[in-house]
């Protein structure tokens, strides 16, 4: 359940070859490689009830308008809690492990993690050229059974970011979640929400930069109150199918298919780039067992021909 981004197909920049051929690549987010997120399931530290220790995650900075004398300590707005036993009225039935995290619906409250979040630099993932990324997290509105739920219209942002030269967080992709009774109808089942970064290009400012994850309450002041529960933070990357190392010799085109290992890809060809993919000719379907596989078009006697690779569903 939950909202998932549409995985629209994206054309990579073309590569022109001698003889008028053109290589293209087409990618869809299906097979992927998992990137470990430290304490992504909030199982540490083990707590019999609640803990304010969310390391290696870091809390967002306390804003200047926050008054701890009247509103309490800023650190209490986020933490880890132990799931109640099965059969309890507030038991989360799809909690990953035994614990989850909470975040109050207070403006600017949140937590984040990147390469600099801990001295050990445990989260050392980077945005790699040719790969797309998806962050997924389970979310529910907490406290509904006790009347302490979040107001309709309250919002929460999921972000993937990088740090610029000034060490400021710069969002690459953002998904906004809006609370409504029609979506969050109970407080015992997490819904999956995701944020997606399209295939990284060499000219993107975030190419090669460390990946950052941010959960941020963006609730309007008049709607603040209640809290979100979050669990099972998952990050995956996908290598887009790419046609490379093209060579034209003796009326044949040789090239290499690069993709995620094990991905099944179809090679398509057309003499008209403007035609929809459904009208292109299928030349072969290949299982790219190792991640790179050579292929030869032996019928390359065309003034102009285009090639593309796409993942087979």
From 238, 257, 275, the end of a domain falls on 238
- On whether residue 252 sits in a domain, the answer given is yes
User: What pLDDT is recorded for position 300?
Assistant: 65
Percent of the chain with pLDDT over 90: 63
Q: Which residue has the higher pLDDT, 134 or 274?
A: 134
For residue 94, the enclosing domain spans 33-238
For the stretch 75-99, pLDDT in tens is: 999 999 999 999 999 999 999 999 9
Do 42 and 169 lie in one domain? The reply is yes
Do 52 and 171 lie in one domain? The reply is yes
DSSP secondary structure string for all residues of 137-169: EEEEEETGGGT-PPPTT-EEEEEEEEE-TT--E
From 200, 218, 238, the end of a domain falls on 238
Distance, CA of 83 to chain centre:
26
3-state secondary structure of 45: coil
DSSP secondary structure string for all residues of 195-206: EEEPPPPTTSTT
Burial class (CB in 10 A: 0-12, 13-18, 19+), 294: exposed
For the stretch 182-191, pLDDT in tens is: 999 889 999 9
Could you tell me which of 7, 39, 70 has the C-alpha nearest to residue 233?
A: 39
From 190, 218, 238, the end of a domain falls on 238
User: How many domains does the structure of the chain reveal?
Assistant: 2
- On whether residue 2 sits in a domain, the answer given is no
User: Phi and psi for 278 in degrees, rounded to 5?
Assistant: -65, -20
- On whether residue 250 sits in a domain, the answer given is yes
Show the tokens assigned to 164.
Answer: 């610029």
- On whether residue 5 sits in a domain, the answer given is no
Do 157 and 200 lie in one domain? The reply is yes
Do 123 and 216 lie in one domain? The reply is yes
Do 196 and 49 lie in one domain? The reply is yes
114 CB neighbour count, 10 Å cutoff: 22
What's the whole-model pTM score?
A: 0.78
- On whether residue 296 sits in a domain, the answer given is yes
Do 259 and 165 lie in one domain? The reply is no
């Amino acid at each position: 359940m939950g909202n998932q981004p549409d995985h629209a197909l994206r054309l990579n920049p073309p590569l022109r070859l001698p003889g008028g051929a053109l290589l293209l690549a087409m990618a869809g987010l299906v097979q992927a490689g998992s990137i470990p997120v430290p304490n992504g399931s909030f199982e540490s530290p083990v707590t019999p009830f609640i803990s304010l220790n969310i390391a290696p995650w870091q809390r967002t900075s306390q804003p200047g308008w926050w008054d701890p004398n009247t509103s309490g300590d800023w650190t209490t707005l986020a933490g880890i809690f132990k799931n109640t036993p099965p059969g309890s009225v507030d038991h989360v039935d799809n909690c990953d492990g035994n614990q989850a995290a909470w975040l109050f619906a207070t403006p600017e409250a949140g937590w984040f993690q990147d390469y600099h979040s801990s001295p050990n630099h445990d989260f050392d993932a980077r945005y790699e050229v040719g790969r797309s990324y998806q962050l997924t997290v389970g979310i529910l509105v907490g406290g509904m059974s006790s009347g302490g739920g979040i107001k309709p219209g309250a919002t929460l942002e999921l972000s993937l970011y990088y740090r610029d030269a000034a060490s400021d967080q710069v969002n690459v992709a953002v998904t906004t979640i809006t609370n409504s009774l029609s979506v969050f109808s109970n407080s015992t089942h997490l819904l999956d929400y995701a944020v997606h970064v399209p295939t990284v290009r060499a000219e993107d400012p975030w190419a090669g930069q460390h990946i950052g994850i941010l959960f941020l309450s963006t609730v309007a002041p008049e709607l603040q109150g209640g809290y979100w529960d979050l669990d099972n933070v998952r990050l995956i990357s996908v290598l887009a199918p790419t046609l490379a190392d093209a060579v034209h010799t003796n009326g044949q085109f040789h090239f290499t298919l690069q993709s995620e290992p094990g991905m099944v890809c179809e090679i398509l060809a057309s003499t008209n780039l403007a035609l929809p993919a459904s009208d292109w000719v299928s030349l072969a379907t290949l299982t790219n067992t190792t991640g790179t596989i050579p292929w030869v078009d032996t019928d390359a006697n065309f003034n102009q021909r285009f090639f593309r690779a796409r993942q087979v569903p």
